[in-house]
């Protein structure tokens, strides 16, 4: 990472009360080496761990602490929030994560975070039990869903003598993620489908499946964070729209097909994560079907295969499919990759296990196997939000390689 690659000029570094505050001067120095201007805001507790004078001397600016400052900078929280291109809070205490989650504005740092419109990055550092506590984990999930970025924490030996997750990320990695991240798809248009579709039988009934849309929504959020302009074509789900993503809500497979075809030509990358119904009723009854017959036969017709249609376009985007399989995962996924002429297929097992829990569909965790024409690899089971970040990085790198190849041959 060198200066010319770095579009960030003004970083507001928040320092909160934790042992790792002694690392803040090094973070300031390393950011300055990248040509970044750093201003520091510290909490009252942070002062117990690191001196204001040190941070002031290294940053070359006064350190901001008090929301009611004594001089003429009366709207400091707003001015600082406007000034910053990015806010980095390192180390970020458990307390500060909780404050941010609940929208507290009881000190300068929490107030300006609330007023800020720029990206916010938190580098947590705390005892491993504090990190794993459900209260903290709940807060972290909420902040992530609002677009706040987490850098770390790392695992290892802790100042308290315990071992586990909670250490401040190693500074090289922290700065790498802070400066480089999220721009892998800069300038790219990404079209994503998510959720199930509903195929009406009559005015009150429909055929559908167990897809929750969580994977597609997580991918949309991560692609947006990676700098892409994202259009999400979504079937009926109960999820909040990801930040700064264009959403097109649809119900049936036919509506999803139309929405995708309208956007596919402009897209650089198409990720088909929706569980589109393969069939829909030939006729939709105008009135509610009565319970008069002992047997009811439904006549179904095949729906258009959205992914195949997009991958056969002349000016096709880079196409990624999902294969949700209950059996023969590898064989079926590979067959789909070839038949639909895809650049990548992400396969997972779906269905209910012995305890009645759904795997893949409608769960927060997922375990996938990725196939490309070049080979395959498996990722361990992890949260869909984390998996989505890894998949977006992989998709971006595979896209870049394919694009480079196209332009050098």
What positions carry a catalytic annotation?
160
By beta-carbon proximity to ligand FMN, the closer residue of 32 and 45 is 45
DSSP run (H or E) holding 230:
strand 229-234
Q: How far is the CB of 43 from ligand FMN (least distance, A)?
A: 3
By beta-carbon proximity to ligand FMN, the closer residue of 74 and 159 is 159
Say if CB 303 and CB 280 are below 8 A apart.
Answer: yes
By beta-carbon proximity to ligand FMN, the closer residue of 90 and 126 is 126
DSSP structure string for 117-168:
-S-EEEEE---HHHHHSHHHHHHHHHHHHTT-EE--PEEEE-TTS-EEEEEP
Among 36, 55, 90, 94, binds ligand FMN (CB under 6 A): 94
Q: How far is the CB of 145 from ligand FMN (least distance, A)?
A: 21
- The window from 29-37, 38-46, 80-88, 195-203 that contacts ligand FMN (CB under 6 A) reads 38-46
By beta-carbon proximity to ligand FMN, the closer residue of 42 and 223 is 42
Among 8, 24, 59, 93, binds ligand FMN (CB under 6 A): 93
Say if CB 233 and CB 274 are below 8 A apart.
Answer: yes
Query: Residue 307 and residue 270: Cα distance in Å, rounded?
Result: 9
Q: Is 67 one of the binding residues for ligand FMN (CB under 6 A)?
A: no
DSSP structure string for 12-58:
EEEE-SSGGGGGHHHHHHHHHHTT-EEEEEE-TTGGGTS-HHHHHHH
Q: Which of 207, 202, 262 is nearest to 233 (CA)?
A: 262
Q: Is 17 one of the binding residues for ligand FMN (CB under 6 A)?
A: yes
Q: Per-residue contact track with ligand FMN, 95 to 114, x per CB under 6 A?
A: xx------------------
By beta-carbon proximity to ligand FMN, the closer residue of 19 and 386 is 19
Rounded to the nearest angstrom, the gap between the alpha carbon of residue 331 and the centroid of all alpha carbons in its chain is 30
Buried-exposed string 94-133: b where 16+ CB fall within 10 A, e elsewhere: bbbbebbbeeeeebbbbbbbeebebbbbbbbbbbbebbee
Q: Which of residues 120-179 bind ligand FMN (CB under 6 A)?
A: 125-126, 130
By beta-carbon proximity to ligand FMN, the closer residue of 34 and 108 is 108
Q: Is 46 one of the binding residues for ligand FMN (CB under 6 A)?
A: yes
- The window from 18-26, 184-192, 228-236, 353-361 that contacts ligand FMN (CB under 6 A) reads 18-26
Among 8, 24, 43, 280, binds ligand FMN (CB under 6 A): 43
Query: Residue 322 and residue 344: Cα distance in Å, rounded?
Result: 9
Q: Is 387 one of the binding residues for ligand FMN (CB under 6 A)?
A: no
Among 19, 289, 379, 386, binds ligand FMN (CB under 6 A): 19
Q: Residue number with the shortest CB distance to ligand FMN?
A: 18
Say if CB 166 and CB 131 are below 8 A apart.
Answer: yes
> What is the number of other CB atoms lying within 10 angstroms of the CB of residue 265?
13
Q: Is 187 helix (H, G, I), strand (E, B) or coil?
A: coil
Among 45, 69, 208, 249, binds ligand FMN (CB under 6 A): 45
Q: Is 313 helix (H, G, I), strand (E, B) or coil?
A: coil
Contact positions toward ligand FMN, by CB under 6 A? 16-20, 43, 45-46, 93-96, 125-126, 130
């Amino acid at each position: 990472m060198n200066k010319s690659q770095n579009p960030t000029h003004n970083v507001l570094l928040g320092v909160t009360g934790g042992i790792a505050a002694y690392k803040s001067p090094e973070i300031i120095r390393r950011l300055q080496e990248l040509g970044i201007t750093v201003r520091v805001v510290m909490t009252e507790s942070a002062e117990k761990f690191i001196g204001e004078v040190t941070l002031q001397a290294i940053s070359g600016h006064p350190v901001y602490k008090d929301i009611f400052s004594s001089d003429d900078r009366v709207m400091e929280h707003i001015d600082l929030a406007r000034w910053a291109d990015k806010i980095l809070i390192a180390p970020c205490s458990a307390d500060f994560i909780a404050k941010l989650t609940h929208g507290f504005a009881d000190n300068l740092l929490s107030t300006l975070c609330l007023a800020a419109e720029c990206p916010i990055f938190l580098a947590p550092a705390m005892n491993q039990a504090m990190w794993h506590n459900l209260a903290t984990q709940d807060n972290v999930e909420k902040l992530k869903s609002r677009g706040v970025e987490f850098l770390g924490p790392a695992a290892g030996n802790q100042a308290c003598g315990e071992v586990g997750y909670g250490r401040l990320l190693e500074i090289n990695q922290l700065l790498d993620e802070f400066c480089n991240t999220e721009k892998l798809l800069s300038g790219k248009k990404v079209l994503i489908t998510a959720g199930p579709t509903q195929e009406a039988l009559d005015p009150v009934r429909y055929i559908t499946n167990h897809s929750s849309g969580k994977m597609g929504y997580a991918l949309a959020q991560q692609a947006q964070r990676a700098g892409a302009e994202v259009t999400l074509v979504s079937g009926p789900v109960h999820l909040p729209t990801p930040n700064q993503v264009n959403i097109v809500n649809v119900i049936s497979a036919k509506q999803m097909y139309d929405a995708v075809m309208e956007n596919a030509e402009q897209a650089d990358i198409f990720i088909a994560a929706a569980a589109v119904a393969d069939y829909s009723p030939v006729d939709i009854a105008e009135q509610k079907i009565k319970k008069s017959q002992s047997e009811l036969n439904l006549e179904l017709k095949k729906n258009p295969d959205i992914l195949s249609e997009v991958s056969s376009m002349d000016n096709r985007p880079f196409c990624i499919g999902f294969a949700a399989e209950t059996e023969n995962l590898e064989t079926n996924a590979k067959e789909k990759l070839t038949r639909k002429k895809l650049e990548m297929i992400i396969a997972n097992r779906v269905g209910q296990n012995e305890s009645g829990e759904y795997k893949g569909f409608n769960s927060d965790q997922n375990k996938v196997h990725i196939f490309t024409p070049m080979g395959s690899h498996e990722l361990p089971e992890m949260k869909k939000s984390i998996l989505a970040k890894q998949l977006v990085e992989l998709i971006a790198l595979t896209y870049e390689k394919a694009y480079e190849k196209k332009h050098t041959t």
